[in-house]
Amino acid sequence: MINALLSSLPLWVCVFWFLTLILNFKSNSLAKNYLILFFFIAIINYFTHFLYFNNQYNAYCFAESIWIFTSLSLFPIYYYYIRLLTKDSKARFAWIWFFIPSIIFSLFSFILYFSMDSSEKYIYTYNVLYGNNRNLLEYSFILKLQLIKINIFRIVLVTQVLIFIITGIKHISFYHSSIKEFYSETKNKELKSIKYLLIIFVFASITSSLSAIIGKSIFINNHVLFIFPSLVHSMFLYGVGFIGYKQYFSIIEFRKDILNADKKYYSKELTQKSLLKKIQTTIT
């Protein structure tokens, strides 16, 4: 019962914000609608977590490949959400390459899953996924590939976190400096809350990485340990939804203000030239 509650908490947070944002789809900004994709992928991700922590052995053995795809997709999606707030006025299909690692790893994982016979699936599920026994010498070639996959997955995940956190903070910092140069009053225009969420996201990702390294099985029967990652992820996800829902100003509005300011300046300049010309005509 406690496992079900703790493991479903991040899932229900994602469902709440997904429904809240999708019900306002027509009135949402581009960035807000992009958050719908984030929470949709997060729902799938945390549903696979729910399967794992509620001992749905066969289901999770299959769903692990889906978990890999969603885990490697969430941070790129959130990073691009930051780009839509700070840099890009519209979504660009060219950024689909962000999902290449998640697609490759999930396909590779599915291939390995369907290549295993029933005994290998049993060993992989109970010895590796739930037992955390990762001695390469004891396993068949397919199982050795599974272990290699897990180790490479961790490296890619950590690399993603480092790259996107650095570039995300750079985008936000440049946006802030531009805002401060243009506006005398920057209230409700800055993205400090998003920057803080980035840090929390890193903390949540580190928590996930550590749990993957030491083995998620340690949390199944230890409710005290399980409370920590469950609350960290739930708080982060709620923060993403709440701040994203309240965010009304982005690069789109900023560029509109710059364009309007340029038009006013040009109009003022034309008016001054026209007045000067009339004065000169009157004098002559």
Mean pLDDT per 10-residue run, the chain (284 residues)? 80 94 82 89 93 89 94 89 81 80 94 94 88 71 91 86 82 78 64 66 66 63 72 85 79 72 51 44 43
| pLDDT (0 to 100) of residue 261 | 65
SS3 130: coil
CATH top-level class of 2-249 = mainly alpha
Residues 6+ apart with CB under 8 A from 107: none
CB 66 within 8 A of CB 106: yes
Residues 6+ apart with CB under 8 A from 274: none
- Residue type (1 letter), 3: N
Q: Is-above-0.85 flag for pTM?
A: no
Question: Over the Cα atoms of the chain, what is R_g?
Answer: 25
What distance in Å separates the CA atoms of residue 99 and residue 106, rounded to the nearest whole number?
11
Residues 6+ apart with CB under 8 A from 51: 59, 60, 63
Token pair belonging to 105: 């790893």
CB 185 within 8 A of CB 166: no
What distance in Å separates the CA atoms of residue 242 and residue 21, rounded to the nearest whole number?
10
- Residue type (1 letter), 128: V
CB 8 within 8 A of CB 54: no
Q: Which helix (H) or strand (E) holds 9?
A: helix 2-23
Q: Helix, strand, coil % (nearest 5) of the chain? A: 85, 0, 15
Distances (CA, A) of 133 to 56, 118, 130, 154: 19, 18, 8, 17
| pLDDT (0 to 100) of residue 201 | 65
| pLDDT (0 to 100) of residue 15 | 96
